[in-house]
Amino acid sequence: MRGIVGEAITPDLVERLGTAATAWAGRGRVLVGRDTRGSGPLLEEAFARGIAAAGGEAVLAGVLPTPAVALMAQDLGAVVTASHNPPEYNGIKLFDREGRKLVDDDEVRIEALMDEPAPAAAARPGSVEHLDGAADGYVEHVVDRFGSDLSGLRIAVDCANGSYSGIAPDVFERLGAEVTAVANAPDGENINAGCGATALGLLQETVRAGSHDLGVAFDGDGDRLLAVDERGDIVDGDQIVAVLALAHRVDQVAVTVMTNLGFHRLMAEHDVTVHVTDVGDRYVLEAMRREGCVLGGEQSGHIVWLRDHVTGDGLAAALLLCGALDGRTLSQAVSAMPVFPQVKANVRASSRVVPARVLDEAARLNDELAGTGRVLVRPSGTEPVIRVLAEAETAEEAESLCASIARLIEEAPR
SS (H, E, C) 88-154: CEEEEEEEECCCCECCHHHHHHHHHHHCCCCCCCCCCCCEEEECCCHHHHHHHHHHHHHCCCCCCCE
182-238: pLDDT as tens digits:
999 999 999 999 999 999 999 999 999 999 999 999 999 999 999 999 999 999 999
For residue 119, name the pLDDT band (cuts at 50, 70, 90).
low
Which numeric CATH code is attached to 137-334? 3.40.120.10
80-92: pLDDT as tens digits:
999 999 999 999 9
| Average pLDDT of the chain, as a whole number | 95
Query: How far is it between the farthest Cα atoms of the chain?
Result: 67
For residue 299, name the pLDDT band (cuts at 50, 70, 90).
very high
For residue 117, name the pLDDT band (cuts at 50, 70, 90).
confident
What is the pLDDT at residue 352?
Answer: 75
User: What does the pLDDT average to over 117-140?
Assistant: 85
Same fold, 137-334 and 342-411: no
**26 to 13, 23, 30, 96, 166: CA distances (angstroms):** 20, 5, 11, 11, 35
Residue 307, pLDDT > 90, answer yes
Q: Which of 57-66, 118-127, 341-350 has the lowest mean pLDDT?
A: 118-127
Burial 19-54 (b: 16+ CB within 10 A, else e): bbbbbbbebebbbbbbbbbbbbebbbbbbbbbbbbb
User: Do the Cβ atoms of 337 and 259 come closer than 8 Å?
Assistant: no
What is the pLDDT at residue 118?
Answer: 67
- Which residue type occupies 216? V
For residue 122, name the pLDDT band (cuts at 50, 70, 90).
low
What is the pLDDT at residue 116?
Answer: 83
User: Do the Cβ atoms of 33 and 61 come closer than 8 Å?
Assistant: yes
Give the whole-angstrom CA distance, residue 35 versus residue 33: 7
Residue 123, pLDDT > 70, answer no
**Ranges assigned E (strand) in 243-302:** 252-256, 273-277, 295-297
238-257: pLDDT as tens digits:
999 999 999 999 999 999 99
Q: Where are the domains of the chain?
A: 2-132, 137-334, 342-411
User: Do the Cβ atoms of 219 and 197 come closer than 8 Å?
Assistant: yes
Active site residue 350: no
270-294: pLDDT as tens digits:
999 999 999 989 999 999 999 999 9
- Choosing from 83, 163, 165, 300, which is the catalytic residue? 83
**379: burial class by Cβ within 10 Å (0-12, 13-18, 19+)?**
middle
Second CATH level (architecture) for the domain 342-411: 2-Layer Sandwich (3.30)
What is the pLDDT at residue 43?
Answer: 98
Nearest to residue 317, comparing CAs of 301, 330, 329?
A: 301
Give the whole-angstrom CA distance, residue 387 versus residue 381: 10
Give the whole-angstrom CA distance, residue 296 versus residue 25: 28
User: Do the Cβ atoms of 87 and 37 come closer than 8 Å?
Assistant: yes
350-375: pLDDT as tens digits:
777 899 999 999 999 999 999 899 99
Cα angle 341, 346, 350; round to 5: 155
12-42: pLDDT as tens digits:
999 999 999 999 999 899 999 999 999 999 9
Specify the higher pLDDT residue, 119 or 367: 367
CATH number among 3.40.120.10, 1.10.10.10, 3.30.70.100, 3.40.50.720, domain 2-132? 3.40.120.10
Percent of the chain with pLDDT over 70: 98
User: What does the pLDDT average to over 148-169?
Assistant: 97
What is the pLDDT at residue 120?
Answer: 64
User: What does the pLDDT average to over 161-165?
Assistant: 98
Q: Structure pTM?
A: 0.93
What is the pLDDT at residue 45?
Answer: 98
